[in-house]
């Protein structure tokens, strides 16, 4: 049975316009983490969007080999915060998607 914390996270994932997954070397070396459960929930929500819409955005916090990124995220374009304009790139990804597809928060 899910805990209150798990229910709250599931509820929030259903409410937000975007879900950024911050990937660090520390996370990527872990075999098991609650973060993976959250990523899977966000991936499930991503499936409800029409093709081309962004919801889940992988964000690299450390220099990461492409092979280290979990296969469940490799089909999604990531944003690299290790480069000088990384924050700007993240903002542009979100703004471009909002301008192209609009924003609409589901409330179910």
Domain tally, the chain: 1
Q: 78, 39 in Cβ contact below 8 A? A: no
Q: Which residues contact 39 (CB under 8 A, 6 or more apart)?
A: 21, 56, 70, 72, 73
Per-residue pLDDT, 50: 87
How high is the pLDDT of residue 65?
87
What are the pLDDT digits (tens) for 65-99?
Answer: 888 999 999 999 999 999 999 999 999 999 999 99
Q: Which domain covers residue 34, as residue numbers? A: 4-101
Asked whether the predicted pLDDT for residue 106 surpasses 70, the reply is no
For residue 28, being part of any structural domain is answered with: yes
Looking at residues 96-104, what average pLDDT do you find?
Answer: 83
pTM reported for the whole predicted model: 0.85
């Amino acid at each position: 049975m899910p805990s209150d914390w798990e229910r709250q996270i599931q509820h929030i994932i259903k409410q937000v316009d975007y879900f950024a997954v911050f990937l660090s070397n520390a996370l990527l070396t872990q075999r098991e983490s609650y973060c993976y459960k959250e990523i899977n929930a966000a991936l499930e929500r991503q499936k409800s969007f029409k093709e081309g819409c962004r919801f889940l955005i992988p964000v690299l916090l450390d220099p990461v080999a492409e092979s280290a990124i979990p296969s469940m995220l490799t089909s999604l374009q990531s944003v690299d915060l290790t480069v000088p304009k990384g924050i700007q790139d993240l903002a542009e990804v979100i703004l471009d998607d909002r301008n192209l597809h609009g924003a609409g928060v589901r409330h179910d």
